[in-house]
Structure 1
Amino acid sequence: MKKIKNTLLSGLVVLSTSMAGNVMADNWTGYTYSSVSTTAAVQGMKRIADRVEKETDDDLSITLHLGKTLQISSSDITQATGDGIVDFAADLFFSGNVPIARILNLPLLINNDEEWNKAYAVMEPYLKKGFADQGVTYLGSYRYPQQVIFTTFKMDSLDDLKDHKVRVTSPEQGEFVEAFGGSPITLSGSEVPTALERGVIDGVLTASAGGAKNWHEFLPYNYRLPVNYANSAIIANTSAYEGLKNSTRQTLNRIVSEETAQITQDFLVDEKTQEQKQADAGMTIVDADPADIKRAQEKMAPWWREWAKQAGPEHEKALEAVLNALGK
């Protein structure tokens, strides 16, 4: 009888260990807003998925889905992650869900890498809190190159924006366009080529390695006045994230940190490559007049505080902290 009991106990231990192993092995659904597999952003997300599976010894695997392959609109990625429809995502259009994040995208506020790093250090706690309030864990972000002006009309000064229709991706970009006499138009990326062909819009704010990579044939002019930066958040469902083993979470955090830095760098390299390709293909590229940049900064600076005041006290506090960090 004792031998039977020992055998039964041994079997239960093996079964328990096996079940525990199955519990610890997590299979996540990943999603990215981008539908183009060759972009630096998607390539980076693929590397994250591959590395996580390898470096956690299969404790965590992420199946990545490209934009439009799931029934999730770009503006709903944060909510879909919080609801557990996906476990892990890259979200470029999160500012509607975390409005305070728009401080990092205010026109002419941040003008170079050094300023970005200072502003981001201030804003990171706000980003974490904003996502946490929605059941989402903020893991980091990568940054696109500066958004500049591409047009169907000749442009070598800010004054040339007057009376032209320009596609923007945020109300803040729209404020910039209006400040110099233009009319901001909001369109999805898929609508841009047809809108340019039909004259619905006369230009776009984007990067050479961003939208211009696909739309350059419709945009013969590029005025390289740096309007603002855009960044994409890497996020996870909080319940799924907290359900990981501690060592797996640490590995995921490390990989995301390393790969977001690499994606940002890859975009900067591609920006130069695409700019040269576009010039070789006949695009007229004009570097912004420093006087124009200064004029744009002076025009937008009072509006930053107006924007924050309308948004609320927390926005005002965060903006002032950013301005102090930047010495503005």
Structure 2
Amino acid sequence: MPSLKHYLLSGLIILGSAVAGGAQATNWTGYTYSSVSTTAAVKGMERIADRVDKETDGDLSITLHLGKTLQIASSDITQATGDGIVDFAADLYFSGNVPIARILNLPLLINNDEEWNKAYAVMEPYLQKGFDAQGVTYLGSYRYPQQVIFTTFKMASLDDLADHKIRVTSPEQGAFVEAFGGSPITLSGSEVPTALERGVIDGVLTASAGGAKNWHEFLPYNYRLPVNYAYSAVIANTSAHAALDDATRQTLDRIVSQETQQITQDFIVDEKTQKQQQADAGMTIIEADPADIERAEKKMAPWWREWAKQAGPEHEKALAAVLQALGK
């Protein structure tokens, strides 16, 4: 017959196992749309994962997977996060799921850092609400440099866009190209080099530290008219985020806030570096005529309002608030 000591020891072992089980680390699956590990965006996401593991003493660990290493299309990242297929993600292609976010992408609406900060302050609650409806918690975002015009043909003014085929990454960029007589074409990033080589497209809208970093050899001209900004949301599955203990959740949120700001700054620095390197390699870089920028903004302003009207009352309300903040 087992002794009292045996029962006590068994109870202690069971209790110890329960305590140990309760202290087990939370392991999250992370994902980013980018498949290039050397970009400021991926480096920043890796820093988030490293810092979270260290600063929570291993209570939360995030295994980050690069784009295309999981069977998740770039346009499906928001849904995959909401469904719990991944717990944490960087999502550049979220506007199909959160359409109101496109206000910050409208061409010629936002022309500098100061304007971005004012517009973003207005839009942040709308972003939080939009992602919340998808079962996703919006933790913050980082911003790419301004999207400018790179071409295979000489371009010195907006008039030179006419009759040329330009690769765009959004309907909003497409509207800009069409407004000045060009033809917008949507292609994945992997298709761009071949399309440029074969003349399927004559140019792209991107940044020096973005697509031009990889495609500059096909793009001898750069007209630096600031068309719009692109930005990526950093998100988490709402249930997984809520299940974290308060200290861990606060640590994660703080780190994401700090690192998204750093990613944006790293992109700004890299934009200057890449622009100079591209010039040194022979690219003809022309700063946009201020009169061209003013003309482009006046051309697109009525379109912003029409776009919002077609999208619905909430979009109209949000755009009106952004325009008021920008004094436009």
User: Which TM-score tier does this pair reach, normalised by the shorter chain?
Assistant: over 0.9
Shift of 1:12: 3.6
Shift of 1:239: 1.1
Structure 1 unaligned blocks of 5 or more: none
- Residue 57 of structure 1 corresponds to which residue in structure 2? 57
SS at match of 1:140: strand
Q: CA–CA distance in 2 between the matches of 1:164 and 1:94? A: 28
- Residue 21 of structure 2 corresponds to which residue in structure 1? 19
- Residue 82 of structure 1 corresponds to which residue in structure 2? 82
Q: CA–CA distance in 1 between the matches of 2:275 and 2:13? A: 65
Q: CA–CA distance in 1 between the matches of 2:32 and 2:6? A: 54
Amino acid aligned to 2:26: D
Q: How does 1:173-192 map to 2 (within 5 A)?
A: 173-192=173-192
Q: CA–CA distance in 2 between the matches of 1:10 and 1:216? A: 66
- Residue 10 of structure 1 corresponds to which residue in structure 2? 12
Q: CA–CA distance in 2 between the matches of 1:11 and 1:91? A: 45
Normalising to structure 2: TM-score of the pair? 0.97
Q: CA–CA distance in 1 between the matches of 2:193 and 2:151? A: 12
- Residue 139 of structure 2 corresponds to which residue in structure 1? 139
Q: CA–CA distance in 2 between the matches of 1:86 and 1:100? A: 24
Matched, 1:255 2:255: yes
Q: How does 1:249-328 map to 2 (within 5 A)?
A: 249-328=249-328
Structure 2 unaligned blocks of 5 or more: none
SS at match of 1:108: coil
Matched, 1:162 2:139: no
Per-residue CA deviations over 1:148-174 (Å, capped at 9, x if unaligned) read 000000000000000000000000000
SS at match of 1:84: coil
Per-residue CA deviations over 1:126-182 (Å, capped at 9, x if unaligned) read 101111101111000000000000000000000000000000000000000000000
Count of residue pairs brought into register by the alignment? 326
Matched, 1:128 2:119: no
SS at match of 2:107: coil
Amino acid aligned to 2:275: E
Q: CA–CA distance in 1 between the matches of 2:285 and 2:309? A: 37
SS at match of 1:109: coil
Q: CA–CA distance in 2 between the matches of 1:70 and 1:36? A: 14
Amino acid aligned to 1:232: S
Q: CA–CA distance in 2 between the matches of 1:194 and 1:14? A: 61
Q: CA–CA distance in 2 between the matches of 1:198 and 1:97? A: 34
Greater than 4 Å deviation, 4+ residue runs = 1-9
Shift of 1:10: 3.4
Q: CA–CA distance in 2 between the matches of 1:42 and 1:18? A: 34
SS at match of 1:70: coil
Matched, 1:113 2:100: no
Q: CA–CA distance in 2 between the matches of 1:236 and 1:129? A: 14
Shift of 1:35: 0.6
Q: CA–CA distance in 2 between the matches of 1:151 and 1:307? A: 27
Shift of 1:15: 2.3
Shift of 1:11: 3.5
Amino acid aligned to 1:156: A
Matched, 1:48 2:48: yes
Q: CA–CA distance in 1 between the matches of 2:54 and 2:9? A: 36
SS at match of 2:37: coil
Q: CA–CA distance in 1 between the matches of 2:78 and 2:107? A: 24
Q: CA–CA distance in 1 between the matches of 2:13 and 2:57? A: 25
Amino acid aligned to 1:235: I
Q: CA–CA distance in 2 between the matches of 1:27 and 1:19? A: 14
Per-residue CA deviations over 1:212-260 (Å, capped at 9, x if unaligned) read 0000000000000000000000001111111111100000000000000
Q: CA–CA distance in 2 between the matches of 1:12 and 1:277? A: 64
Per-residue CA deviations over 1:70-125 (Å, capped at 9, x if unaligned) read 11111111111111111111000111110000000000001111110111011011
Matched, 1:209 2:209: yes
- Residue 236 of structure 2 corresponds to which residue in structure 1? 236
Amino acid aligned to 2:126: Y
The alignment yields a C-alpha RMSD, in angstroms, of: 1.1
Shift of 1:13: 2.7
SS at match of 1:34: coil
Q: CA–CA distance in 2 between the matches of 1:74 and 1:280? A: 34
Shift of 1:6: 4.8
Q: CA–CA distance in 2 between the matches of 1:326 and 1:298? A: 15
- Residue 222 of structure 2 corresponds to which residue in structure 1? 222
Q: CA–CA distance in 2 between the matches of 1:257 and 1:105? A: 21
Q: CA–CA distance in 2 between the matches of 1:266 and 1:11? A: 51
Normalising to structure 1: TM-score of the pair? 0.97
SS at match of 1:42: helix
Shift of 1:18: 1.2
